[in-house]
Structures are given as C-alpha cells and as structure tokens.
A and B are shown apart, each in its own frame.
Chain A
Amino acid sequence: MLENYSKQVNRLLKNIKIGDRVLVKKGKKNYEGFLMPRADTGDKDSIVIKLDSGYNIGVKYERGMKIKKLKRAPKKTVEVEYKKIKFDPNKPRVAMVTTGGTIASRVDYRTGGVHALEKPEELLANIPELKDIAYLKDVSSPLKKMSEDIDYKDWQKIAKEVAKQVNKNKGVIVTHGTDTMHFTSAALSFMLKNLYKPVVIVGSQRSPDRGSSDSFMNLICAVRIATSNIGEVGICMHGSTDDHYCYFMRGTKVRKMHTTRRDAFRSINEMPLARIFPDGKTDILNKRYKKRDDSKGVVADIKFEPKVALLKVYPNSDPEILNFFIKKGYRGFVIEGTGMGHVPTSAKKSWIPPIKKITKDGIPVVIAPQTIYGRINPRVYTNLRILFNETKAIPGEDMLPETAYVKLGWVLGHTKNLEKVRELMLTNIAGEIAERSEIDAFLV
C-alpha cells in the first residue's frame, strides 16, 4: 500500500514502487517519468509523476487508465560526500543531543521528504566548517518529536541524556523544534543541578532543505558557545534577520516571540548573555552569567509535578475553569495576570474567591505577567493588595509565564509544602528572576 494514494490508485500501482520509471496511458495521452510519493495534501486519486523536465504533475485516476513499469528505481541516491570530511579529535569535544526538530534533518530531494540525521558526519556535509571548531563525537537521540508534542517526560529524558554527555564533553548542544524550545530550555535550567558547562539548545525557523536556512549559522554559533566559558543552559538562535550573528539567551529568560522569523527568540527582561558571530567572535552582553568550571559534575534532578495548569485571565474570563482543574487533581496554578498582575476582582465573575479557596487548601497560585515584559507588583493598587495579601497568591516577579509554569512543576516535584513552595518560587534558582529591572532589557 502506498501511503496517501487512494485504494483504486494503489490497485493500479500494484508491483510498482516509488521511484520506478513508469509510463501512464490515459486515453490518448501518455505521461512518462518517475513515480513520486504523495504528500497528505491534494487529490489522493492523482498519481504524482516526475517528468524528465524535473517538474511533478498529478495525473488523475480514470477507469481504463494503464500504468507500465519501464525501469526499476535506482537503488539509492548518490552517497553524500560527508565521508570525505572527518572531525578532528584535537578540537574541543562537544556532544549533540537531537530531539527531532527539523534542524537535524536532511531532505530527500527526489521526494521532498525530510529524514532525521543519523550520523554526526552528515552535518558536516552541509557545514564542513564545524570540523575546525569542535570534535563532535557523541550524538544521541533520546527522542524524535516535533516540539509541540514534547511533554515533561521528554524533558526528563533530555535532562538525563544531557547530564550524561555534559560530564564527558566540553559542552552539549541540543537540537530541538522551535515551538516549545523555551519550555525545554527552562526545564533543563532547573533540572541540571550543579551545571557549570554550556548546554546550548538550538533550532531553525527555516528548515535546512533550503540554502538560505538559518540552521547552518545557528549550529555553527551553538557549537562555538558549547566550547565557551559560559556554564549555563541557553538558547542560541539568530539575533536579527541578517545572517550576521546569533544570540545566546539564558534558558529561563527567553521566549519565541514570532511565528516564523529567524530572529523569533528574544531575551526577555534582560540582555542576551552573548552575541556570537560564526567566525567565533563573541561579545559578552550580560555579565551576570555563571562561568565554566570543568571540575564540577552535573546531576539531573528531574522530579516534576505535571499537574500544574497555565491559565490566562481576560475580560469576561470565567474562574470556573479553576474548579475544573481542581476536580482533575491539579496541584498548582500559574495565572497570567493583566498589567502588573491583576485578575478580575470586583467584576461579576471575580477570580478572588476561588483563588482564596485554592490557596487555603494548600495549592499554590503563581501570578505571572501576560504583558511578557516587566515585573509583577503586589502593592500599588488595591486590587493587587487584595490578590496578594488576602488570597495569598504568589507574585511571580519578572518570570516569564512559561518559565514560572515549568518552575512550579519542578518545585512541586520536590515539595508540596505551600510555604516552602512560596519561598522557592520567590528565590532565583536558575537566573529566572532578575534582581534589577534593567533599562536596556526591553525589546532586545
């Protein structure tokens, strides 16, 4: 059965394989070329033929139509040239952990299909300059998922694998789909205890099936950062729309801020840690980073409470949603408040009574800013005082809502004691809370 082709087309294509040279006879018309696979779009009844001009067309099934195999598909596409290029063992040793984003993938130009890379050398075919930067020996693939499908168990798997690799290598790069990359970077920031080496998460916004992909420069810069003196988890992606430099941004202070642009990842509420150029030039932009210390060993501290909800209030929002989660056995909440951290207070559907009840029952409610930028303030307005003094909600400082969510899950994985949780949520553990609100940290 050929995937995505209809039953009748499959019947017609019996004994014919993708890539075979075929002759399709339809009425008086003949079409000759190679049989191509069908994507999940278009007409399942149309047979995709690659003509000798290189163009694909779809020939719709018709009763009485005939298809003849002229030649079997060539065995395998030409071996890629990576075999000629080798890594140099004298360079700093860097590990690569792949999780399944498009960045560590390869395109089959015959079919347009995308396959995951299996050997580190395959990267060299596209980015030969990596061999002058690092000795990329250990490539492991704890999972192969699109990032929207990644869950806390995957974070735990990645954290364990990264911890293992960190102790063997100078640094680790983690390739990852971009959608939830900042959740994973936050998770690794909390889970990698006693980390003093760079763990660089990298992805691409334009897949490497095009010569203009951002993945090449992102990877080069990521590998460079992996050999640098910064001993933290962070995301390394394009700093601007130019192929000029990347930013290395702290894992707890970074967010995807655009659906498609290559410079979508922005450092929030602080300057990026560094600007890295592909040639290795590195400008430190934020001096508050942890320095590399190769004498220390990392431990994966992966306990995590998944029953935490991330909610958002908005005009007309119904707090009844809280009861839904409580009934489902949820153990913690992060609520994205408006402005400095408000929830509807004197409104018809006030969130105050249910939050009060929840915290009374020992379940933490953390308020994070839906403005993305800025800090929660528990004092300046009456309604803020009601929320934070009367209901005992926890003000999330200048933590990103996503970071606050991951942190709360991690904290609850270690303790359910509300006072302990409150204390930990208000303590800076992995750079997630900035002591000062710096002037130049907005829209960078």
Chain B
Amino acid sequence: MIDYKKIGFKCGLEIHNRLDTKTKLFCNCKPRFSEKQPILIIKRKLRPVAGELGQVDVAAMYEYLRDRTFFYNCYNEETCLICIDEEPPRVINKEVLEIALQITKMLKADIPNEIHIMRKIVIDGSNVCSFQRTAVVGLNGVLGTSLGKVGITNICLEEESAGIVKQDGDEITYRLDRLGIPLIEIGTAPDIKNPEHAKEVAEKLGMIVRSTGKSQRGIGVTRQDVNVSIKGGKRVEIKGVQELDMLPQLIDNEIKRQQEIIKKAERENSFLPIQNMATTRIAKEDGTTKYTRPLPGGERLYPETDLAPIIIDKKLLSKIRIPETWEQKAKRFSKFLPKEMVNQIIKSEYLEMFEKLHKKYDPLLVASTLTSTTVYLRRSGIDVDVSEEQFDELFSCVKKKEVSKEAIPEILEIMSKEKILVKDAIEETGLKVLSENQLREIVRKILRKHKDLVEKERFSPLMGLVMKEVRGRIAGNMVAKVLKEEMKK
C-alpha cells in the first residue's frame, strides 16, 4: 500500500459532461450524433494569430499548422452556418444556462454578477473557428465526500469540440454533429486524498450533473482530466479519461511513472529528467498515458466579442431551482428498494427510466431488470439496445400477465440481437404466457409418458420435466399447483 500522504500526493479533477438539451449551445442545431451521411465536406486551414498564444512561439505554431488541412463533415440537421464558422453565434441557449446555474447552486459556488463568454484557443482543428467558446459560471464551490470537503475551483459552460473521424498524415477529418453540444466542466481543487477518492469525487460530480435530469448518457459523454503530482515531481495533466473504474489504476500508474523519473534524476544527479517531464498526457484504454502537445492555460483565453456578457440578476437566480440531490433520491428509493439496489440504480444509466417506470410497475422488478438483468446480459456479450417505450411495454405485458417475469432476460436478448419490438420478441420466443388449461394439457402429456414416476409419487423429477417445457411461460408456483392436482387424479 502506498502512503499517499507521505509521497506528497496531490490530485485534482476536471470533469466534462455533455448536456441533453433541445439545441446546441450557440445555435439551433440538434445536439446529437447523426446516423446519416454527411451532406457536405468542407476543407479549411488554420493559422496562428500573432500574440494570441502568449509565450508560445508563433513561428513554430505556424510551421505546425502550415501543412495541415482539416476536413469537416457536415450533417443536415446537426450542422449549420454557425457550426462551420460562416455566421456569428446566436445568444446562449437559456436552457443550458439554467442547468449550469442549478449545478453551481448545488455545489454552493459563487455565481458571477456577469458571465463573460471567452474564446479558448484550440489549434488541432477540433473547433472550426480555432477556439472553443467557454464561460465560468461558478467559483469557489464545495463538494462533500467520505474523506472530507473537496473544493470546487470553477464550473464552466463550454461547447463540445468536433469528433475526429480519421487522420491521414497532415489531413485530418472531423465530424461536426458533435461540435457545439453544451458541455459542463467542473474543476476541483487539489484536495483529493488518494486514487480511490478521485473515483468517488468523479462519481459524485457526475451524480450532481445527472440530478438535473439533463445529462447526456452513453459512451464518451463524460470525460475526466486528472492532475497528479508527487513530492519532487511535476504537476502532470492526464486528459480524456472516459472509464471511471480506470481512474484509480491510471493515477497509480502515473505515480509510478513519476517515481521512476525522480529515481532516474537522483541516479544521474541531474534535474533534467524532471525538467523534461511532459506535463500534458492523454489517457489510453489500457490505463497508461501518452504525451500530447502542451498549451499554456490563461493565455489561451480572450473575450468573445461577438456575444454580449450575460447579466445574472436576482430575478434570474430566483427562478433556478435546485433539483433533488442523489442523497435525497437514495433516501426516497430506499423506501421500496433494498439498499444494494438503490446504489445500483442511482449509478445506472437507466436512472431516468427507472424514475418514470417505477411508479407504474413493481419497483423491484423494474430496478432489477434495469440493473442486474442488463448487466448480466452485457457480460454475456449482448449489447442491450432497448428504448424506454419498449421497456414500458415489456413491463406492461408482465403486469397484464401476458408474459412471465422469468422470461424478461430472454426477451431482452432477442430484442437486442434482432432489433425487434417486445411484441415480436414474445411471439418469436414462444414465451407467451400459458393459460392454466394449456399448462394442464402439457402436464397431462408428461404424466402419461412417465407413469412410473406418478405411481412412485416422485414430485420433484416430474416438476423438473414440466418446468423444462414451460420455463418462462408461467409462474413456478402455478406449475406446482397444477402438477399436484393432476398427480392426484
């Protein structure tokens, strides 16, 4: 075990979470991925603008950008002239602003009297304009954790960058459907005590964003950047951690990496290895990191002159309601769910679905279906791809006794594999619930076949034989009842 205090472990997090809103942050495009082919591919160049990068050598930046050509895939409903830098931005999306202020309130942070939208210089082509619009909406907040308070240095509202499609030498292709999706960024102070604590903090911040009910779900919607340093080393930023479970391992790996560099420096009696330590790294899938081009911080920001500052007055603030926190939610759920399941459902991607469905159906069944059943199916390699409406339909069939709850895993499996509706899946699997008469028919058939067992009154083997035939189509206690009755005849 590493004594994190002793090695001078310092760690802060920055989490980014895409928001699920009606439109993008500064235009009225749909904030979603397009499944269609691009309607247009445009070609652009970028160049450094003298002075904007502060101490960074403009000449070097020019060389870097000179030969690069960026291609952008444009989509019908997800890209407009604003997205391709052919029209100035519209005023900020009010819905997003309100969500950001909700989060700011939940983290007890100060909200500036006036929010100024800034341009953050980005030269990798992932923003068509060469900058990302961003604004700080909260300062000096606090998050309660199992190891004490963790300071929140800032809460920012930003536009998501474009997603990279391919890089072919100096030609880089991006897709613009993702560009401009609202993103909330929360940065913590270096108050994190150990790698597991980092995971807890990230989880809790994620919950806060999710409690607004406006967090996007799915792969890549949440990303963490981690700052790690130990005594004698340097502060290193690891960007783009997507898997929360990977966080502790990644931090431990970074500590080891830094410790080795420090040892090397001691061995060689030189500061050089530490001086040369790259300060920005990208998280790889295997829990290690790789070097990426560093950029200075504050110097990257300058005012967005196309947009007026947003005045935050009392009237606007009074309209912002704090949503139910996850603690409050857990308390409410524990009234009808066992503790273990409460935790599972709260962390689950199906939380919003559960909120809607548990009022109509047996909460325990809904919760276990949405957690253990889906997890079980995923582990056996099935990508559960079922919409809220379809889950609703499935539970409704169970409620109406058209299908037994035991059949749920198999129905979900078929639905996901064959991309069909609940009704068709039930039909296809033959998992439609049996009527008592149908069951009686089957039981009689089996009893006729196994007269010897009937004579010896061997209930269990007979029950086994019947269940083999009818599993998932009728409840077990009904089978037992009918079997007993028929055996007496």
Q: Hey, which chain A residues are within 8 Å of B88, CB to CB?
A: 260
State which residues 295-335 of B face A: CB under 8 Å: 297-305, 308-309, 311
Q: Flag whether B430 is at the interface (Cβ < 8 A).
A: no
> Are B51 and A77 in contact, CB atoms less than 8 angstroms apart?
yes
Q: Flag whether B62 is at the interface (Cβ < 8 A).
A: yes
> Are B110 and A78 in contact, CB atoms less than 8 angstroms apart?
no
Q: How far is the CA of A81 from the CA of B62 in the complex (A)?
A: 12
Q: How far is the CA of A110 from the CA of B53 in the complex (A)?
A: 11
Q: Flag whether B2 is at the interface (Cβ < 8 A).
A: no
Q: Flag whether A229 is at the interface (Cβ < 8 A).
A: no
Take A52-B298, A55-B118, A58-B309 as given contacts and tell me if A43 and B113 are in contact as well, using a CB distance cutoff of 8 Å.
yes
Instruction: Identify which of A41, A109, A205 contacts B302 (C-beta below 8 A).
Output: A109
State which residues 37-85 of B face A: CB under 8 Å: 42-52, 54-55, 58-59, 62, 65, 81, 84-85
Residue of B nearest to A46 (CB): B114
Chain A proximity of B27: nearest CB distance (Å): 13
Which of B88, B112, B139, B156: most chain A Cβ within 10 A?
A: B112
> Are A210 and B129 in contact, CB atoms less than 8 angstroms apart?
yes
Take A54-B118, A206-B85, A211-B46 as given contacts and tell me if A46 and B113 are in contact as well, using a CB distance cutoff of 8 Å.
yes
State which residues 233-273 of A face B: CB under 8 Å: 241-244, 259-262
Q: Flag whether B115 is at the interface (Cβ < 8 A).
A: yes
Take A60-B113, A126-B50, A210-B49 as given contacts and tell me if A112 and B305 are in contact as well, using a CB distance cutoff of 8 Å.
yes
Chain B proximity of A256: nearest CB distance (Å): 14
Mask of A346-366 contacts with B, CB within 8 angstroms, 1/0: 000000000000000000000
Take A46-B113, A53-B154, A60-B114 as given contacts and tell me if A211 and B48 are in contact as well, using a CB distance cutoff of 8 Å.
yes
Mask of A38-76 contacts with B, CB within 8 angstroms, 1/0: 010111001010111111111110000000000000000
Residue of A nearest to B297 (CB): A54
> Are A54 and B85 in contact, CB atoms less than 8 angstroms apart?
no
> Are B308 and A41 in contact, CB atoms less than 8 angstroms apart?
yes
Stretch among B3-11, B130-138, B348-356, B469-477 lining the A interface? B130-138
Q: How far is the CA of A55 from the CA of B123 in the complex (A)?
A: 19
Q: How far is the CA of A128 from the CA of B59 in the complex (A)?
A: 9
Take A43-B311, A111-B303, A243-B44 as given contacts and tell me if A128 and B112 are in contact as well, using a CB distance cutoff of 8 Å.
no
Q: Flag whether B485 is at the interface (Cβ < 8 A).
A: no
Q: How far is the CA of A56 from the CA of B303 in the complex (A)?
A: 8
State which residues 122-142 of A face B: CB under 8 Å: 122, 125-128
Q: Flag whether B87 is at the interface (Cβ < 8 A).
A: yes
> Are A57 and B51 in contact, CB atoms less than 8 angstroms apart?
no
Q: Flag whether B116 is at the interface (Cβ < 8 A).
A: yes
Chain A proximity of B134: nearest CB distance (Å): 8
Q: How far is the CA of A109 from the CA of B299 in the complex (A)?
A: 8
Q: How far is the CA of A306 from the CA of B357 in the complex (A)?
A: 74
Q: How far is the CA of A305 from the CA of B119 in the complex (A)?
A: 46
Take A109-B52, A210-B131, A211-B46 as given contacts and tell me if A55 and B87 are in contact as well, using a CB distance cutoff of 8 Å.
no
Instruction: Identify which of B58, B110, B303 contacts A125 (C-beta below 8 A).
Output: B58
Q: Flag whether B86 is at the interface (Cβ < 8 A).
A: yes
> Are A42 and B43 in contact, CB atoms less than 8 angstroms apart?
no
Residue of A nearest to B309 (CB): A42
Q: How far is the CA of A262 from the CA of B43 in the complex (A)?
A: 13
Q: Hey, which chain B residues are within 8 Å of A243, CB to CB?
A: 43-45
Q: Flag whether B283 is at the interface (Cβ < 8 A).
A: no
> Are A55 and B301 in contact, CB atoms less than 8 angstroms apart?
yes
Q: Flag whether B128 is at the interface (Cβ < 8 A).
A: yes
Q: Flag whether A301 is at the interface (Cβ < 8 A).
A: no
State which residues 103-127 of A face B: CB under 8 Å: 106-112, 114, 122, 125-127
Instruction: Identify which of B45, B154, B303 contacts A217 (C-beta below 8 A).
Output: B45
Mask of A203-217 contacts with B, CB within 8 angstroms, 1/0: 001101111110011
Q: How far is the CA of A50 from the CA of B153 in the complex (A)?
A: 15
Q: Hey, which chain A residues are within 8 Å of B47, CB to CB?
A: 126-127, 211, 216
> Are B305 and A57 in contact, CB atoms less than 8 angstroms apart?
no
Chain B proximity of A139: nearest CB distance (Å): 17
Q: How far is the CA of A29 from the CA of B109 in the complex (A)?
A: 12
Name B residues whose Cβ lies closer than 8 Å to a Cβ of A: 42-52, 54-55, 58-59, 62, 65, 81, 84-88, 110, 112-116, 118-121, 123, 128-131, 134-136, 139, 153-154, 156, 297-305, 308-309, 311
Q: Which 3 residue pairs across A and B have the least CB separation, nearest first?
A: A58-B114, A211-B130, A54-B298
A-B contact pairs, 15 of them (CB 8 A): A43-B113, A53-B154, A55-B154, A56-B303, A57-B114, A59-B112, A106-B51, A125-B58, A128-B59, A206-B86, A210-B49, A212-B85, A216-B47, A243-B44, A261-B87
